[in-house]
Amino acid sequence: MNSDKNFISSSKNDNLESILEKIKSGTNLEQKFKIYTLFYITQPGYRNAINMSLQIWEPELWKKVKKGYYPTLWDKLMNWIN
């Protein structure tokens, strides 16, 4: 995100609405995933709510998040084989 002029940060004052706005502010799927990762690490208490919102409002991002952070047994086996 260094090429992007917008700087996204996490703070104690973030709530679910502000986190979702920041995630949606990404210009492409890869940026949105990176922003999600920031909040996945810094705001673990909001993970379930963020994930539910992504499933509804950002299904393509949710697919990427699910594959990256919540892989199925099949995904794990395929990664292990490769």
**18 neighbors 43 (Cβ within 8 angstroms):** no
Q: Is 31 exposed, middle or buried (0-12, 13-18, 19+ CB in 10 A)?
A: middle
Neighbours of 52 (CB within 10 A): 12
pTM: 0.84
Chain segment 33-51, per-residue pLDDT in tens: 999 999 999 999 999 999 9
Chain segment 6-24, per-residue pLDDT in tens: 789 999 999 999 999 999 9
